[in-house]
Amino acid sequence: MTWSVDTAAQNENMNYVQAFTESHIESALARSLLQASMFRLSPEGIPPDPRGGWVYVVPQYGVGRYRLDFALFVITYDEDIVMIDLECDGKQFHSTPQQIEKDDERNVTLVSEGWIVLRYPGGAIHHEADACADEVQTFIECILAGCPTEELVRGKCFGWDNWHTLQRSAA
């Protein structure tokens, strides 16, 4: 599937992303994601008239006591909504055993509320933001193609045994 790029909208999105992300790795991943036209920056969440096949990206989205780096709302062609928490894990805040345990507890809570949690290490984003964004886009394209999300989360649709984005979130 090929996606076109709306340059004016992309530039406007980049200005917003710079203002509302909290780290350079969040900004880098957002810039890479928003290059594909399937992604729509939507600061207020899902608009009243969502389009199937689009992904609404909301930075710093609140879910209960948590703030997600990015909430991705995937609107399927059947108009179902798949919710993805996309996290950018910088080493400073996500590497100690206590921090990893806290992230794991958070993942369990969000998954129990219907979210898919994808985590990318800061180093991967820093060095390969476009490759990380491509993986997210491929994951979403599989959702849109009808692959069951349970199989996606376990890597079965791709045949991956150890997809690094799901290293701590697929229980």
Instruction: Give the distance from CA 47 to its chain's centroid.
Output: 18
pLDDT digits (tens, 9 = 90+) for 117-136: 888 888 888 888 898 888 88
Tokens 């701590």, located at residue: 168
Instruction: Give the distance from CA 125 to its chain's centroid.
Output: 12
What pLDDT score was predicted for residue 19?
56
What pLDDT score was predicted for residue 34?
85
Number of H helices and E strands in the chain, helices first, is 6, 5
What pLDDT score was predicted for residue 16?
60
pLDDT digits (tens, 9 = 90+) for 52-71: 889 999 998 999 999 998 99
What pLDDT score was predicted for residue 61?
93
Closest CA to 37 of 53, 49, 60: 53
What pLDDT score was predicted for residue 151?
66
The DSSP code for 152 is H
- Which positions of the chain have pLDDT values less than 50? 1-5, 156-171
